[in-house]
Amino acid sequence: MIYGMKARKIGNFEVSDCPCEHCDGISNQEISVFGRYLHFFWIPVFPLGRKVVSECTHCKKTIPKKEFSRALQQSYEKNKSKAKRPLRHWFGLGLIGVLIIAIIIIDANVEEDPRSALLDDDMNLMTENPTMQSDSISYKIKQAFDELTAEEMDPSEFEYFTKVQNNKVLILVRIPELRHVEKEARNEAMTIIRGVAAEQKDLKGKERYIGVQGFATIMLIQTPTYTANSKLALTYELYDFYGPKPETEEE
């Protein structure tokens, strides 16, 4: 087994003149304490309690702690602090602790791009039913998708949002089934969106930031400087719609 429980003796001490129930003699008993631990690839990960046994030095009979006589029990309680686990039984816990601290330190140093929250807010505004009054570009993109979408997909589940800001336009579409669409066919969704945008007079000369989200992630991206059709498309490439990354104040 590459993982499991192991035990090592971590202490032992003799109790003199203790009656033995098996050989009926008064002899010495040797109490042994084992430290159990979980190992993974034979490396101790963390401790799992103790196992305590007593052995009669005369008849060699061993008994577990739950069968200890009162005298043995008292002697164990008095001496048990002598049995100490080696530090390495905590090796795994220590390693996990070091990793967690490292992650916290790294996380604190990698500051979040505030534009990420702006994009999240806009993603949340996507709707299945954009109207001509509220969002005419999305309305037209929806019309195009309703007309052109292959039969296997249900365009009534698609969501849309468009935002014009200064000389830029952000177009967001969500196609839940997008990840099941072949890569080549996914490009057609981008072609439809670009075609509608090209016909919009009020978008003329504006920089386009287009993102198409699948079930969870944005898979299709087109910006003035970046194009992607991949499950690993870089969402942050859309952040430039909101302007350059704000400078953070030096501490």
Measure the CA angle with vertex 47, ends 44 and 49; round to 5°.
145
The tokens for 232 are 């690993």
Nearer of residues 59 and 123 to Zn ion, judged by Cβ: 59
Rule CB under 5 A: say whether 23 interacts with Zn ion: yes
Nearer of residues 36 and 58 to Zn ion, judged by Cβ: 58
In order of 12, 79, 82, 247, the CA distances from 62 in angstroms are 13, 18, 20, 72
Nearer of residues 29 and 162 to Zn ion, judged by Cβ: 29
DSSP for 158-224?
Answer: -EEEEEEETTEEEEEEE-TTGGGS-HHHHHHHHHHHHHHHHH-GGGTTPEEEEEEE-SSSEEEEE-S
> Which residues neighbour 52 within 8 Å (Cβ) at sequence distance 6 or greater?
31, 32, 33, 34, 64, 65, 76, 80
Interface stretch with Zn ion, choices 42-50, 56-64, 213-221, 232-240 (CB under 5 A)? 56-64
Rule CB under 5 A: say whether 19 interacts with Zn ion: no
Q: Of 51, 58, 85, 206, which one interacts with Zn ion (CB under 5 A)?
A: 58
Minimum distance from residue 27 beta carbon to Zn ion (Å): 6
Number of residues that bind Zn ion (CB under 5 A): 6
Minimum distance from residue 19 beta carbon to Zn ion (Å): 9
Rule CB under 5 A: say whether 163 interacts with Zn ion: no
Residue 209, judged by CB atoms within 10 A of its CB (0-12, 13-18, 19+), counts as: buried
| Distance separating alpha carbons of residues 177 and 191, to the nearest angstrom | 17
Minimum distance from residue 26 beta carbon to Zn ion (Å): 9
Q: Which of residues 103-132 bind Zn ion (CB under 5 A)?
A: none
Rule CB under 5 A: say whether 18 interacts with Zn ion: no
Q: Of 10, 18, 20, 196, which one interacts with Zn ion (CB under 5 A)?
A: 20
Q: Of 38, 53, 59, 144, which one interacts with Zn ion (CB under 5 A)?
A: 59
Strands 62-64 and 43-56: antiparallel
Nearer of residues 76 and 239 to Zn ion, judged by Cβ: 76
Q: Which residues bind Zn ion (CB under 5 A)?
A: 20, 22-23, 56, 58-59
